[in-house]
Structure 1
């Protein structure tokens, strides 16, 4: 297959209705995460063979890797209903009790960001997960009464971006725990071809490869960039997403060849130009780029560290040799040498 080969744009009417769904609906359609996918397949088939709900499932990993998609796939594979909520939305145990008692037998309950669930609700969830029962307290003080309510057997799928914040008792109640890794460029290439077919976007092999290489190993980012490149191709190009079009479009959207955006480059540039490569404290670096410390730490740093462009040290943040060279600067002799974990596909 040559580089100028255009991926077929044939789609069904349902797929054309909205861009709604580039998300796979079955495990067989889920690209990458092969180990997790095989383990889930065994778990679900074993449970269906026994005629019982599968064990509760915990999915952890950075944002955008497919945790919500996998939760919906679990429900689809089981031919079950799914109820979706999030940890921050469950502020009281009564909120959770209402959700649990409304579930039908075999339903899937998906709780995103489960590490942020309120403590009283978490404790109520323990008995629901183990015994399919909740105790609702009516009244206050000495006259309070606990009313036990049965819950239909269900499967809880919890998702978290920060598994270290989960309490031990919560984590131990999940029968299957999986961590999702960043995608390799080859897997993102396949994912982009699939998304292009669903969206009706003509895309070449080298066009898909160009977008995949700038997607930070994250499917959500890859699909977002594909939609932006499609806009550019339709307005300023021939409508076909090839390598030249992808490069021109991503330049307009401030995404460079390594996947760094404007804020990433601002952080790296400030570190190199204003602080001579560091070390510098997080709060000082955040002030230098006009952002909150949390934004720099949670949005920019994980990717910069993973890409080997920035390192965290006991004295503060420092730019690595690769970080200096990415900006076209000559690094000093004492610069930190950090392995490029991102390009090697190694999870840090």
Structure 2
């Protein structure tokens, strides 16, 4: 839901051919965010746990415990942080791990918080180590130690902080040091969404965008959204744009086929045409995904192939391949990671309609 639920874009975010390109697009994403746990679609277990935590804090009239949200990009971590602040009746401060590269950066941020404020740090695993160590004491005792001077004359001055709630978000929880992870009172892992949950996200967003999307079209968008609400909402907006540009209102005067904005409703054919235009195939693979898969299957005969060789072959950075492309291909069973390199699975051959080595070509007649 980070599109209904957009999170902060960074190098760990999934490659998305329909990604926002300007501030107006980001503003639309923000408008689609659910404002409360009741409006938040999916993540039922996490929602119930958060509701209990917030209700207990409200009854005891104290700030909620610190919260760590982990999981792949685009599932709603930023939105849940905003909901925590809203349902607690507290102000919200937004920051990110890459922006906190020195202990002084964190000290300035923490010392400016008002009592009860919710501090959200996105990609918290990318904070500087010195800042992480300062955060230990701040989370536990609401205090930090400021070092004044250098060398033998250096002095530590304690600074009391206003009680606050830290909400940390990470796509790589394994990179967090144990002392930091242990100081969170509640840790939640967000899972990929099921197709029916994505359809509910799309239906809600379509209503807010003023476009009618029948069930068949919603199902098609959901199947291409990689289990991620952020991507579902972006693909929905591309379908909306296609309908606005190519819609023929003169042939769709029936109210049953007209969208809320006055144009015709998006059909399944519109979804196919719009997403094919953006190189998003039937299971959500985009141009870069297919380039990687095609290189492993065709050029390296199924692998194994090393990451750096693969990156050079497709013209991308190795880090992009490893953190952006591979996770989804591995998750759907198209790519395997071995000590010798990446290998393609039989499912990958079938998707590309390429016979496996030693197999007869049987795809021509399909």
Structure-1-length-normalised TM-score: 0.89
Give the Cα separation in 1 of the matches to 2:42 and 2:95. Answer: 26
Partner residue of 1:241 out of 266, 270, 279: 266
Asked if the contact 2:199/2:218 (under 8 Å) is kept, the reply is: yes
Give the Cα separation in 2 of the matches to 1:314 and 1:138. Answer: 49
Q: Over residues 272-326 of structure 1, what are the superposed CA-to-partner deviations in whole Å (9 max), with x where a residue is unaligned?
A: 1111111111111111111111111111111111111111122211111110000
For structure 2, the 5+ residue unaligned runs are 1-26, 249-263, 360-366
Asked if the contact 1:58/1:176 (under 8 Å) is kept, the reply is: yes
Hey, what does 1:157 align to over in structure 2?
Answer: 167
Hey, what does 1:125 align to over in structure 2?
Answer: 135
- Does 1:217 find its partner at 2:227? yes
| CA apart distance, 1:18 | 5.2
For structure 1, the 5+ residue unaligned runs are 1-16, 335-348
Give the Cα separation in 2 of the matches to 1:179 and 1:229. Answer: 31
5 Å-filtered alignment, 1:1-348, equals 20-238=30-248, 239-332=264-357
Asked if the contact 1:205/1:242 (under 8 Å) is kept, the reply is: no
Q: Tell me, what secondary structure is at the counterpart of 2:38?
A: helix
Hey, what does 1:10 align to over in structure 2?
Answer: none
Asked if the contact 1:63/1:161 (under 8 Å) is kept, the reply is: yes
Asked if the contact 2:147/2:154 (under 8 Å) is kept, the reply is: yes
Asked if the contact 1:19/1:198 (under 8 Å) is kept, the reply is: no
Give the Cα separation in 2 of the matches to 1:309 and 1:19. Answer: 31
Root-mean-square deviation over aligned CA pairs: 1.4
Give the Cα separation in 1 of the matches to 2:296 and 2:70. Answer: 31
Hey, what does 2:16 align to over in structure 1?
Answer: none
Q: Tell me, what secondary structure is at the counterpart of 1:54?
A: coil
Q: How many correspondences in the alignment?
A: 318
Give the Cα separation in 2 of the matches to 1:19 and 1:112. Answer: 17
Asked if the contact 1:237/1:245 (under 8 Å) is kept, the reply is: no
Asked if the contact 1:193/1:203 (under 8 Å) is kept, the reply is: yes
| CA apart distance, 1:333 | 6.1
| CA apart distance, 1:35 | 0.7
Give the Cα separation in 1 of the matches to 2:319 and 2:145. Answer: 38
Give the Cα separation in 1 of the matches to 2:268 and 2:321. Answer: 31
| CA apart distance, 1:201 | 1.5
Structure 1 segments of 4+ aligned residues over 4 angstroms from their partners: none
| CA apart distance, 1:237 | 2.6
Hey, what does 2:260 align to over in structure 1?
Answer: none
Q: Tell me, what secondary structure is at the counterpart of 1:159?
A: strand
Using a 3 Å threshold, how does the CA distance of structure 1 residues 58 and 18 change in structure 2: closer, same or farther?
closer
Q: Over residues 99-129 of structure 1, what are the superposed CA-to-partner deviations in whole Å (9 max), with x where a residue is unaligned?
A: 1111111110001111111111111111110
Q: Tell me, what secondary structure is at the counterpart of 1:26?
A: coil
Q: Tell me, what secondary structure is at the counterpart of 1:29?
A: coil
Q: Tell me, what secondary structure is at the counterpart of 1:279?
A: coil
Hey, what does 1:4 align to over in structure 2?
Answer: none
| CA apart distance, 1:19 | 5.7
Asked if the contact 2:68/2:169 (under 8 Å) is kept, the reply is: yes
Asked if the contact 1:129/1:173 (under 8 Å) is kept, the reply is: yes
Bigger drift between 160-169 and 129-138 goes to 129-138
